[in-house]
Structure 1
């Protein structure tokens, strides 16, 4: 890891943003906001990470398999692509890599949001977060609910009046369940594999070890001898790194990018960017893209976004360059390094495929 843990990270934001104003003006924001996307087949991205866009890859008959928001997607050991959304007629849609629908299920998750796959010694399970219900569910791959984690007040971790709107889970190497309360009270809660409460860390605020929209969480195994947690702090335009027991390590600052959860594939980290900063450097609707970081947590490609630029070791403002996407909520990487993009608030758009070229 090359980024250095520093309490000064966010003290630098004001100066970085001020310096970025002049740069942002060169992006012709009015053009960006009103330009029309090109047909399928456009190549986006940078360096060795370029992709051909297939906007209609996941399209289905909406009268039979409707979607509202495509929230997240994971790939199981059979190569099936499992997507969760908040349409209770079919919360789960399961695709093959050609875009063919293999199966669908789920009617009980009105806020179906977070989807994590856990391979426990060859047996696979899903963890589903529903911030509308304020619950986390463990299921098998056919949708049978095996465990439910409810409001933390039931175990003394919250007051009954505290909001609990979980957005994501991650499963540690020992089976510890981590829950990110990203739309609620901004804590990361830890539970045993049986659902017994262990403790919490984080909470709301602008300190290094606190969060502003702790939207996503994942275990980073790139250092196999020392796995860590990478947790989204979306309003801070950042990922924050922690030990498995919740001690703050460092911040990966991604100026301009309101990132969703981190997704790891080998040494590479990917994320959907739900919004970027256009016009007056404010959070702007319909300004999403995808961001890709290398093993040193350096941004190397932004499909749909501006080319990443570092000056004196500091990443400069990143914004949407091409209106391919509206609000990128999650990405899934297949065995050929293609990316599947799920979008929130995108006119009920099915997943989009980015074919690696």
Structure 2
């Protein structure tokens, strides 16, 4: 497909108050009791845990897991609510290539503490002029004089984190800055023609469409459970699985996926998901991290074809937080995911130590 904008990613993220309780974990994953590899899924969707991937050196740690994306060189970029590092970049073998904290702070105008306090979404986009990152910030601060409101921005950067355009809660408008009344945005996605879709999932429950130059085109949504209304519209994605491109919205608290045309006309709903967070498209399928202890795979016909790492027992009992490390084949709070060019799966969870993990492709993808 000829396209001005090519975009195999995005990703995604929520505001739980579990940071305090999650801090009891050390961040190290317990090994299985025997030497058998830890696997999830089956057949085409079978993956094997790489227990050594994604480790940070002494003195660094992850916070609540926010977003994880892959670039054209199969570099895995991880963001979490941590001041050190704010961003960690690995190769597919788990070698740590770069970390950003002070470096990113100097480019985007926030301290590492402020970055950690507002971190949420990240989307990688390949465009005619290069590769870019789109960042989505949550809100921090009360707005009072001694506690100014920060965050509530979506901004585009180069691959080194230099801001190219800011939209939202900016200090003043200019050629590369635009004020816009986001309440608490959560995710962004880019269409092949460059149109930009943004969800205000922790705030107004609105879905916005902009053109590639950040000109506002349309707004839909608002709180509710009727079609076209949302309850935590946490993630957004432009699917190119079929001839007709469509906008998918992870309507998390309504436990559904709402699907729209590129012009944001409602088309249909996919039920049967549990707190969907966001999407990633790979090899004819959409992968969906679900905050309620599961990853789901959906085909181009919207059929749910695989469920991975389900933390619910057959009796419906949920995996307890204290048992997370003892169950490496289960997910607790999947918040974001991505897949590399070889079909390896990377998962990041909304838990105090991030729990970023690689599951190597063991199927026939």
Q: Same fold (TM over 0.5)?
A: yes
The gaps in structure 1 that reach 5 residues or longer are 1-35, 276-287, 310-316
Determine if the alignment matches structure 1 residue 227 to structure 2 residue 245.
yes
User: 1-side partners of 2:31 and 2:275: how far apart?
Assistant: 21
Among candidates 268, 275, 278, match of residue 258 of structure 1: 275
* Aligned partner of residue 48 in structure 1, secondary structure: helix
Aligned to 2:186: 167
Structure showing greater relative contact order (alpha-carbon pairs closer than 8 Å, 6 or more residues apart): 2
Deviation digits for residues 291-347 of structure 1, max 9, x if unmatched? 11122222222121289x9xxxxxxx99779662221111111112110001112x3
Determine if the alignment matches structure 1 residue 83 to structure 2 residue 101.
no
**How far 1:289 moved relative to its partner?**
2.1
Q: How does 1:7-46 map to 2 (within 5 A)?
A: 38=32, 41-46=37-42
User: 2-side partners of 1:37 and 1:210: how far apart?
Assistant: 43
Report if aligned partners of 1:56, 1:350 keep a CA contact under 8 Å in 2. Answer: no
TM-score, normalised with respect to structure 1:
0.75
* Aligned partner of residue 291 in structure 2, secondary structure: strand
Report if aligned partners of 1:167, 1:180 keep a CA contact under 8 Å in 2. Answer: yes
Report if aligned partners of 1:292, 1:300 keep a CA contact under 8 Å in 2. Answer: yes
Q: How does 1:39-188 map to 2 (within 5 A)?
A: 41-63=37-59, 65-105=60-100, 106-107=104-105, 108=110, 109-110=115-116, 111-121=118-128, 123-132=130-139, 133-151=151-169, 164-188=183-207
Report if aligned partners of 2:125, 2:190 keep a CA contact under 8 Å in 1. Answer: yes
The gaps in structure 2 that reach 5 residues or longer are 1-29, 140-150, 321-326
Among candidates 302, 305, 308, match of residue 303 of structure 1: 308
Among candidates 217, 221, 224, match of residue 198 of structure 1: 217
Aligned to 1:14: none
Report if aligned partners of 2:66, 2:349 keep a CA contact under 8 Å in 1. Answer: yes
Aligned to 1:342: 348
**How far 1:168 moved relative to its partner?**
0.5
Deviates more, 1:75-84 or 1:51-60: 51-60
**How far 1:350 moved relative to its partner?**
4.2
Determine if the alignment matches structure 1 residue 355 to structure 2 residue 360.
yes
User: 1-side partners of 2:297 and 2:318: how far apart?
Assistant: 14
Aligned to 1:20: none
Determine if the alignment matches structure 1 residue 329 to structure 2 residue 335.
yes
Alignment length (residue pairs): 293
Aligned to 1:290: 295
**How far 1:118 moved relative to its partner?**
1.1
User: 2-side partners of 1:326 and 1:71: how far apart?
Assistant: 14
- Alpha carbons of structure 1 residues 175 and 68: separation in structure 2 relative to 1, 3 Å: same
Aligned to 1:238: 256
Report if aligned partners of 2:311, 2:332 keep a CA contact under 8 Å in 1. Answer: no
Report if aligned partners of 1:151, 1:164 keep a CA contact under 8 Å in 2. Answer: no
TM-score, normalised with respect to structure 2:
0.74
* Aligned partner of residue 208 in structure 1, secondary structure: coil
Aligned to 2:27: none
Report if aligned partners of 2:62, 2:82 keep a CA contact under 8 Å in 1. Answer: yes
User: 2-side partners of 1:238 and 1:176: how far apart?
Assistant: 24
User: 2-side partners of 1:267 and 1:350: how far apart?
Assistant: 27
* Aligned partner of residue 46 in structure 2, secondary structure: strand
User: 2-side partners of 1:221 and 1:131: how far apart?
Assistant: 28
